[in-house]
Structure 1
Amino acid sequence: MSTTGTTRTVDRAFEASLYADSDAALDAGASLLAADPSADAELARRGGEFVASAWRRGWQPADVVRIVRRELDDVHVRLVGRLILDENRQPPTPRWAAQLDSLRALGAPEPPRTDRFSYTTAVLELYRLLLRLPAIEPLDTDAPGTPRAPRTSGAPGKPAARPRADGETRVLSRIRGLLAKAEATGFPEEAEALSAKAQELMARYSIDEALLAARSPDANTPGACRIGVDPPYETAKAVLLDAVAGANRCQAVWNEALGFSTVVGFEPDLEAVELLYTSLLVQATAAMTRAEAAQRAGGRKRTKTFRQSFLAAYAHRIGDRLATVAEEQRQQAAAGAAASEGELLPVLAARDVAVREQVTRLFPETVTTRVRGVSDAAGWQQGAAAADQAQVTARPPLER
C-alpha cells in the first residue's frame, strides 16, 4: 500500500476510535489497523507526535509513564516506554535524562507479542489517553518541545547539580514497586517479605544524609519535581509528603486527580524530600503490616479503616516531629550565622522567598484538603506509635 494509503488507514482508524468512548468505536479503529500491517510505521510516528504534544503541555517522561500505569495496563506501559525512548532526540535536562535512564534500565520495552487486533486495540487505548492529557504546570522550560528561556546561573565557579545516578533511580523505582505489591497482596506473609525487601534496599544503598552531602551545589533558582502519590489512602500520603517537603525548605502541592504532588525547592532539597518520603513510606508499610498481624492474632480481620487511620496518624505525627526538627535546625543555623557575621541566614531567607514565589507562579490558586475517614482508634494509636519509632536509614530516630 502506498504512503498515502497507509496515512488514510491511520486517519480513518483515529476518526473512528480516538474521539469516542465506546468499545464499538475502539473495535472499529483497531480492525482497520489490524487489517493493514503496512500502516504500523505511520501509527508509531503518530504516537511520537502524541508524546511530543504531552511535553508541550507540561508533562515529563516519568509523569506520562505514571499516568499510563495508573489508568491502563502493563502492555500500555511498555508501548509508551518505547514511544518515549524513540521520540526523545533533543538534549534533555539532568532530571529529564535521569527519567529516560530509568526507562532504559527496565530494558527496551518491545511491543507485545500477540494477535494484531489485540495489539492495535492497545495502541489506540494508549493514544486515547495521551490525546486527552490535560495541560499541567511546566516545570522545566528547557525540556524538549517547550520554549527556551534564560536560566539563572549558579555562583561563579560552582558547577550545576549533577543528575541522580542511574543506580539510585533504579533503586527508588524498585522500592516503590515493592511497596505497591505489599499494599496490594492479600497474603500477610508476602506483604511482610516485600516490605522487608524494600527496607533492605534502603539500607544497602545508604539513602541517608551522606548521599545528599555528595551533591554539587545547585543554581540560584528553585526547581520542581513531581512525586507520585499512589492509591490507596492518597490523602494521608499527600499529608506525609507535605510534611517532609516543609521540613526540607520545600513546598508541595497535591494534584489529587492526576495522582502526584509537585514539590518546589532547590535541587539538593528536592532530592532529600524524595528520599526521606520514600524511606518513611517503607517504614510505614512495614509497621502497618506488623500491626495488622498482631490484630489478626487477636481475632480481628484486616480492614480498610484500620489502614486508613494508621496512615493518617502516621502522617500527622511525622509532621509534628519533622516540624520540631526543622525548628531546631533553624535555631542552630541562626547561632551559626551569628558566629559567621550573619552570612547564612540571609541566604536561607532568600531561598525561602524564592521557593514561595515559584509556588505562586506555578500555582496561583490552591485549596486545602481535610483528612477524612479516620475512625479506627486502634489504627490511629498504632500509626502514631509507628511514627514515633520512624527513622531515616543510617540516621538516629527523629527526636521528639
Structure 2
Amino acid sequence: MTSVRETVAAVVGGRLGYEDGLDLLTVAPAAEVDPVLAGALFDATARLFRAGWQPAEVHRVVARRGDPAHAHLIADAVAAYLRGFKPRTVDPRWRAQADGLDARAWWGADEQYVGQVTRRRRADRVSLIDAFLSVLTVLATLPPLDVLIPPPGQVARPAPRNANAALLDRVRALLAKAESTTFPAEAEAYSAKAQELISRHSLEEALVEAGDARVTPYARRVGIDHPYESEKAALLASVAGANRCQVVWSPEFGFATLFGFDADMDAVELLHTSLLVQAHRAMARDEPPGGKAGRARLKTFRQSFLVGYAVRIGERLAEADRAALAGTADAAALLPVLASREVQVREARERAFPRTVRGRGLRVDSEEGWESGRTAADEATLA
C-alpha cells in the first residue's frame, strides 16, 4: 500500500493525478496525513529559502500561480523556518519581509499544525488538503535564485546606520510630503529638494569610489504586483535607466532584478514606489466614468495611461540627470567614471542573466489614456 508521504510526493511530482491523490489523502487517517503535509510544506519552503528565495517572493509567487487565499500557508512556513535561528543571525531585510507577512508561529507542535489551521480558518478538511497540495505543487516548480539577501543563519548582527541611511530618511520624508500634498507648487518644492539630494549624493559617491575595486555593482529584486504588472515594470525600467541601473523583468515570478551601485539602486526603489503612488492617484482622477464605457475601455485606458506615464517619466528623469551632471564642478572627471560604472553594471547583469530577451513594446490602445499618463508624468514629483 502506498504511504501518505509517497502519495504526496507522487501528486507534487506529477506521477499521480491531482484528483486521485486528493481523494486518497481525504480518506486516509488525519493522524497520518497531517504531519506529512506540514512537514512537506515546511521542508519545501526551507529549501527555497536556502536557495536564494526571500519570504515576500515566495508569498507573491504562490498568490499569483495558485490561489491568493492559500498564501497564508507561506507566512506560517516563514515563521516555522525562523524558529531555528537566533535573532542576531537573521538579516534585518529578511526579518522585515517576515514581519510584513505577519509571520508568527501561533500553533503548537508541527504534527498538529494542519488540524489547528482547520479550526483557525474554519475550513473543511478537503479544501485544506487541496490548498496544501496546490501550494506544494507551485513550490516544486521554483528554481534556485541568486542569494541577494543572506538567509537566516548566515549573517551577524547588523552594522550601525551610516550617513547614506540618514540621507535616505530625509528623502523619504520629502517623498511623503510630496505624495500627500494637493498643491502642485508645494509638491514641486519637495521634488526639487529630494532630487537635489539624490543626484548630488549619487555623483559624489561615484567620484569618491572611483578606482576602488572593493565597490562593485550589486543586484536587488523588486516585487511587481498585479494588475498591469508589465506596465509597472516598464516604469521601473524607465526610472532605472535614468539612474544608471539596469533591469531584468521576470513576469513568471512577479519580480524584476535591479542591477546597479547601492546609491543608485536606493534612488530607483524610492522613486519607483513614490511614482506608482502618484500614478494611481492621477489615474483615478483622470480615468473615464463607468457605465457605458465598460470594463474593456477602462482597462485599455489604465494600461495606456501607465505606458505614457512611464515613457514621459523616463524622459523627465533623464533630463534631470543631465542637468545635475552639467551643474557639477567635476563633470569632466565624472564622465569616464560614469562610463566605467555603466560597463560594470552591464557586465553584472550579463553574468546573472546571460540569455535575456528584449521585451515586446507595450501596446497603447487608448490615446486618451496615453495623453493623460504623459500629463500626469509632467505633474509628478521626481523625488
TM range (shorter): 0.7 to 0.9
C-alpha distance in 1 between matches for 2:319 and 2:252: 31
How far apart are residue 350 of structure 1 and its match?
4.5
Give the one of 266, 277, 280 matched to 1:282. 277
Larger proportion of helix: 2
**Is the Cα contact below 8 Å between 2:49 and 2:151 reproduced in 1?**
yes
Give the one of 77, 93, 97 matched to 1:99. 97
SS in 2 for 1:249: coil
SS in 1 for 2:360: coil
**Is the Cα contact below 8 Å between 2:12 and 2:140 reproduced in 1?**
no
Give the one of 30, 36, 40 matched to 1:36. 30
C-alpha distance in 2 between matches for 1:107 and 1:52: 16
**Is the Cα contact below 8 Å between 2:258 and 2:265 reproduced in 1?**
yes
How far apart are residue 221 of structure 1 and its match?
2.9
The 5 A counterparts of 1:192-203 are: 199-200=179-180
Match of residue 58 from structure 1: 52
How far apart are residue 369 of structure 1 and its match?
1.7
How far apart are residue 159 of structure 1 and its match?
6.0
| TM-score relative to the length of structure 1 | 0.70
Letter paired with 2:319: T
Give the number of aligned pairs: 339
CA 1:337 to 1:108, structure 2 compared with 1: closer, same or farther past 3 Å? farther
CA 1:274 to 1:14, structure 2 compared with 1: closer, same or farther past 3 Å? same
C-alpha distance in 1 between matches for 2:356 and 2:100: 31
SS in 2 for 1:364: coil
CA 1:122 to 1:300, structure 2 compared with 1: closer, same or farther past 3 Å? closer
Q: Which moved more, 1:113-122 or 1:311-320?
A: 113-122
**Is the Cα contact below 8 Å between 1:264 and 1:355 reproduced in 2?**
yes
SS in 2 for 1:254: strand
Letter paired with 2:35: A
Match of residue 117 from structure 1: 126
Establish whether residue 391 from structure 1 lines up as the match of residue 381 from structure 2.
yes
SS in 2 for 1:224: strand
| TM-score relative to the length of structure 2 | 0.73
How far apart are residue 347 of structure 1 and its match?
5.3
C-alpha distance in 1 between matches for 2:161 and 2:377: 38
CA 1:312 to 1:235, structure 2 compared with 1: closer, same or farther past 3 Å? same
Percent identity between the aligned chains? 39
C-alpha distance in 2 between matches for 1:376 and 1:337: 42
Establish whether residue 336 from structure 1 lines up as the match of residue 368 from structure 2.
no
The 5 A counterparts of 1:1-400 are: 8-16=3-11, 18-19=13-14, 22-32=17-27, 35-88=29-82, 89-90=84-85, 91-104=89-102, 111=117, 112-136=121-145, 138-140=146-148, 142-143=150-151, 199-200=179-180, 220-293=215-288, 300-301=293-294, 303=297, 304-333=299-328, 335-336=329-330, 342=333, 348-392=338-382, 395=383
C-alpha distance in 2 between matches for 1:257 and 1:378: 30
C-alpha distance in 2 between matches for 1:141 and 1:285: 30
**Is the Cα contact below 8 Å between 1:30 and 1:124 reproduced in 2?**
no
Letter paired with 2:4: T
CA 1:46 to 1:27, structure 2 compared with 1: closer, same or farther past 3 Å? closer
Letter paired with 2:375: A
C-alpha distance in 2 between matches for 1:251 and 1:63: 20
Letter paired with 2:151: A
How far apart are residue 235 of structure 1 and its match?
2.8
C-alpha distance in 2 between matches for 1:13 and 1:214: 54
Match of residue 112 from structure 2: none
**Cα distance per residue 1:316-335 (max 9 Å; x no partner):** 111111111122223234x2
SS in 2 for 1:242: helix
Letter paired with 2:76: R
How far apart are residue 107 of structure 1 and its match?
6.1
CA 1:313 to 1:109, structure 2 compared with 1: closer, same or farther past 3 Å? farther
**Is the Cα contact below 8 Å between 2:70 and 2:131 reproduced in 1?**
yes
Match of residue 114 from structure 2: none
Unaligned runs of 5+ in 2: 108-116, 182-186
**Is the Cα contact below 8 Å between 2:4 and 2:36 reproduced in 1?**
no
How far apart are residue 292 of structure 1 and its match?
1.7
**Cα distance per residue 1:336-370 (max 9 Å; x no partner):** 356xxx4x666545443332221111111212123
C-alpha distance in 2 between matches for 1:200 and 1:158: 27
How far apart are residue 38 of structure 1 and its match?
5.0
**Cα distance per residue 1:100-155 (max 9 Å; x no partner):** 23223x7667733323222222111111110111344x042743599x9xxxxx9x
**Cα distance per residue 1:203-226 (max 9 Å; x no partner):** 9xx9966997999x9972332222
Unaligned runs of 5+ in 1: 149-153, 176-197, 396-400
Q: Which has the higher contact order (CA 8 A, sep 6+)?
A: 2
CA 1:78 to 1:305, structure 2 compared with 1: closer, same or farther past 3 Å? same
